[in-house]
């Protein structure tokens, strides 16, 4: 229940409390109870990590503090089971005994307002039927309307925690929180003391104008950022009372059955009940650019990373292929993306480089001014001048040393930076973010999706024992351009890449749109650019079924009806595995028997393309045969290999801005 994880520093201990994880009420109760103990000087608990830090006097030990924490946790469990509220402690003995409880409940009642904690289980280890039973729902009919309303009332709406917007007063007051403004305020005060009211008014005017400029810029950015949050309203497909309904994602409740389809947004964390070739883009959560293939099977290991929990889908991710059905197990701030957002909200803002440098300048300025003013004061006394006159002169000298124009110049420069960033479609909420951005010297970047487009494209083809370069949907050999009409093997290669492919193709007003994985979409996109009518091709070869990749079969096959020869089989996958099933290759439309030297040449070219950081696929086909399930097809015709890469974005090389870049992959 409670485990000490750091006790080496005397009077300070950190504990891991398993029940504290994602339990905001227990967090507040622990902090409330322990802070009332006179033997404890500081308490800080986190529901996001499940840790609690306690600072105590020398009369206690980590063991006594651990006992206190365990007692409060047990009491919390007791009151949850009985539906009552815990009382407030009047005292808690340092010896680790039970705290003395008092009767008034109103003091702590406010800590328990709001949604209750959501159940936390290792959902990836549970059977689907067990998860359904936990939420009293059915795979066929879903939740009843009354149960939906009860869960929403009990656990809250499915919305992520939002930071409170800054009020106009907070934005305006924040403009005075800087060292130059403090120095100007001191100068104005000194001017008043020495009778310089005009100087004081002018300095105050500079400060107010500076604050107004900063307030105007930040308030506009705040309004723009807030307005963006209302532009997108994700929808979710759920099954309730046996009917498929489209609702707002905010209305999704614990226990809802969510229907997942290509292109749909995952509205909450959910345990998969069905997964039919389901793939999900989880880059927003894990940073991995490639879609993750999902399964409904139970996993065996408990402590595995989120990216490996393939029987769960997470809020904020996107379905890229296949279909699925899942039961919601976490909503709102209890989702994985909600936890990340909460952690980010708890992060403290560090001091900006400019503020740190101004602080150093201010310290030196104060010391130098103090030394010069003291020297002038004593020199005047030594020459026989009155001390009052010399005091007034010294104060005036100190006021004159303050740079009145610095805040205005700094604020104006930052405002110009904010407006320049806005022209590049970057919104900045606070002015000091610009100065921090300007101090960046090194940027570490992930390659995929940052430096590159995160969109695969075919860059090289090996067909008919010839290497072809690909650019803009056109093909080039060392001798010159290559046309499909003159290269039947290349045309067949593109056709097979379209047939053995799950990418959905939509056409509206002559414009194609593709929905599928980046790899398969790249193959279809190349065929379209080369002039192949992919929809007519698929209609001419009706699909019967797919045989998908597996751990022991690193290739994919699709079975089609041949227009004239009965059956047609299209294969794509690991080049060497596909080559092993082939007995011929296609050259200028003719089938030629594969010799040993041909196989060695193909293997060498595969190694060369892979060595150039290309993702290589081998393709082949067979026709006029019926290949039984579970048997590896033989006697196929080798078509060639396609090498794909994720191209670098335009302008990346030029967009250095004097900043050192480091690629992390």
- In this structure, are residues 429 and 222 in contact, taking their beta carbons and an 8 Å threshold? yes
And the tokens for 425?
Answer: 């479609």
Which pLDDT score, from 0 to 100, does residue 194 have?
64
Of the candidates 271, 656, 131, 628, the residue with the CA atom closest to the CA atom of residue 440: 656
Rounded to 5°, angle at Cα 544 from 568 and 497: 55
- Whole-angstrom distance, CA of residue 336 vs CA of residue 160: 10
DSSP three-state, residue 165 = coil
What is the bridge-based pairing of β-strands 660-664 and 442-446? Answer: parallel
Which pLDDT score, from 0 to 100, does residue 632 have?
65
Residue in the block written with tokens 């009077």? 11
- Whole-angstrom distance, CA of residue 13 vs CA of residue 238: 47
175-190 pLDDT, tens digit per residue, is 777 666 776 777 677 6
- Whole-angstrom distance, CA of residue 357 vs CA of residue 308: 45
DSSP, res 451: I
Of the candidates 303, 266, 262, 300, the residue with the CA atom closest to the CA atom of residue 285: 266
And the tokens for 403?
Answer: 């740079």
- In this structure, are residues 418 and 428 in contact, taking their beta carbons and an 8 Å threshold? yes
Rounded to 5°, angle at Cα 597 from 593 and 603: 100
404-416 pLDDT, tens digit per residue, is 566 667 667 777 7
Which pLDDT score, from 0 to 100, does residue 60 have?
79
DSSP-assigned letters across all residues of 541-579:
S-EEEEE--BTTB-EEEEEEEETTTEEEEEEEE-HHHHH
Give me the phi and psi of 286, to 5 degrees please.
Answer: -105, -20
Which residue in the list 446, 525, 552, 626 is annotated as catalytic?
446
What is the bridge-based pairing of β-strands 504-508 and 511-515? Answer: antiparallel
Which pLDDT score, from 0 to 100, does residue 48 have?
74
- In this structure, are residues 595 and 582 in contact, taking their beta carbons and an 8 Å threshold? no
Low-confidence ranges of the chain (pLDDT < 50): 87-114
And the tokens for 114?
Answer: 């709001």
- Whole-angstrom distance, CA of residue 651 vs CA of residue 271: 42
Q: How many CA atoms lie within 13 A of 416 on its CB side?
A: 7
229-283 pLDDT, tens digit per residue, is 555 567 889 999 989 988 888 889 999 999 998 778 899 999 999 998 888 888 8
- In this structure, are residues 571 and 555 in contact, taking their beta carbons and an 8 Å threshold? yes
Task: Kindly report each contact of residues 401-404 with a partner whose C-beta sits within 8 Å and lies 24 or more positions away, as own/partner.
Answer: 401/365, 401/368, 401/369, 401/372, 402/183, 402/184, 402/186, 402/187, 402/365, 403/180, 403/183, 404/184, 404/187, 404/202, 404/203, 404/206
- Whole-angstrom distance, CA of residue 185 vs CA of residue 204: 7
- Whole-angstrom distance, CA of residue 473 vs CA of residue 530: 5
* Domains of the chain (ranges, CATH numbers): 2-112 (3.30.1360.10), 123-160+233-344 (2.70.150.10), 168-228+352-413 (no CATH), 457-645 (3.40.1110.10)
And the tokens for 3?
Answer: 């485990």
**281 flagged as catalytic:** no
Give me the phi and psi of 449, to 5 degrees please.
Answer: 80, -10
């Amino acid at each position: 229940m409670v485990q000490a994880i750091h006790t080496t520093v005397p009077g300070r201990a950190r504990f891991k409390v398993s029940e504290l994880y994602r339990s905001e009420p227990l967090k507040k109760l622990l902090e409330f109870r322990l802070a009332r103990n006179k033997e404890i000087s500081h308490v800080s608990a986190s529901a996001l990590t499940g840790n609690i830090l306690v600072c105590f006097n020398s009369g206690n030990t980590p063991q006594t503090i651990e006992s206190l924490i365990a007692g409060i946790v047990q009491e919390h469990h007791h009151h949850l089971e009985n539906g009552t509220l815990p009382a407030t402690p009047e005292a808690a003995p340092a010896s680790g005994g039970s705290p003395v409880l008092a009767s008034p409940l109103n003091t702590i009642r406010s800590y328990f307002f709001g949604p209750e904690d959501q159940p936390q289980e290792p959902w990836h280890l549970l059977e689907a039927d067990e998860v359904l039973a936990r939420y009293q729902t059915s795979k066929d009919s879903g939740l009843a309307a009354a149960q939906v309303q009860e869960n929403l009332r009990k656990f809250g709406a499915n919305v992520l925690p939002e930071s409170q917007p800054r009020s106009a007063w907070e934005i305006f007051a924040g403009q005075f929180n800087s060292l130059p403004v403090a120095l100007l305020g001191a100068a104005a005060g000194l001017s008043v003391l020495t009778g310089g009211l005009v100087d004081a008014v002018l300095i105050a005017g500079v400060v107010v104008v500076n604050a107004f400029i900063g307030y105007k810029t930040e308030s506009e950015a705040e309004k723009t950022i807030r307005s963006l949050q209302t532009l997108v309203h994700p929808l979710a497909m759920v099954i309730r009372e046996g009917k498929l309904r489209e609702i707002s994602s905010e209305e999704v409740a614990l226990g809802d059955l969510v229907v997942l389809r290509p292109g749909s947004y995952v509205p909450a964390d959910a345990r998969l009940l069905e997964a039919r070739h389901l793939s999900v883009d989880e880059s927003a959560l894990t940073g991995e650019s490639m879609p993750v293939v999902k399964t409904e099977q139970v996993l065996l290991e408990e402590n595995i990373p989120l990216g490996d929990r393939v029987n769960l889908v997470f809020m904020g991710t996107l379905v890229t292929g296949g279909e699925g059905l899942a039961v919601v197990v976490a909503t709102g701030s209890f989702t994985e993306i909600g936890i990340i957002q909460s952690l980010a909200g708890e992060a403290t803002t560090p001091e900006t480089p400019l503020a740190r440098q101004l602080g150093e300048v201010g310290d030196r300025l104060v010391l130098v001014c103090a030394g010069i003013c003291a020297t002038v004061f004593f020199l005047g006394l030594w020459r026989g001048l009155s001390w009052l006159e010399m005091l007034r002169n010294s104060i005036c000298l100190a006021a004159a040393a303050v740079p009145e124009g610095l805040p205005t110049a700094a604020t104006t420069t930052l405002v110009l930076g904010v407006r320049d960033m806005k022209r590049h479609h970057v919104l900045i909420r606070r002015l000091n973010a610009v100065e921090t951005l300007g101090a960046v010297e090194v940027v570490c970047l992930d390659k995929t999706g940052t430096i590159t487009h995160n969109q695969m494209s075919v860059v090289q083809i090996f067909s008919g024992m010839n290497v072809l370069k690909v650019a803009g949907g056109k093909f080039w050999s060392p001798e010159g351009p290559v046309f499909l009409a003159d290269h039947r093997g290349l045309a067949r290669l593109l056709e097979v890449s379209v047939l053995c492919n799950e990418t959905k193709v939509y056409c509206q007003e002559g414009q194609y749109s593709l929905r599928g994985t980046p790899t398969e979409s790249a193959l279809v996109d190349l065929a379209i650019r080369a002039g192949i009518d992919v929809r007519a091709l698929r209609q001419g070869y009706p699909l019967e079924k797919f045989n998908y990749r597996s751990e022991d079969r690193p290739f994919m096959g699709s079975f089609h009806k041949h227009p004239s020869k009965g059956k047609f089989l299209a294969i794509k996958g690991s080049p060497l595995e596909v080559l092993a099933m082939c007995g011929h290759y296609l050259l200028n439309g003719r089938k030629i028997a594969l010799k040993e030297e041909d196989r060695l040449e193909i293997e060498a070219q595969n190694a060369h393309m892979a060595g150039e950081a290309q993702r290589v696929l081998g393709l082949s086909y067979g026709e006029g045969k019926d290949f039984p399930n579970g048997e590896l097809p033989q006697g196929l015709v080798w078509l060639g290999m396609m090498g794909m890469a994720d191209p670098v974005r335009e302008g990346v090389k030029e967009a250095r801005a004097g900043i050192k870049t480091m690629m992390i992959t």
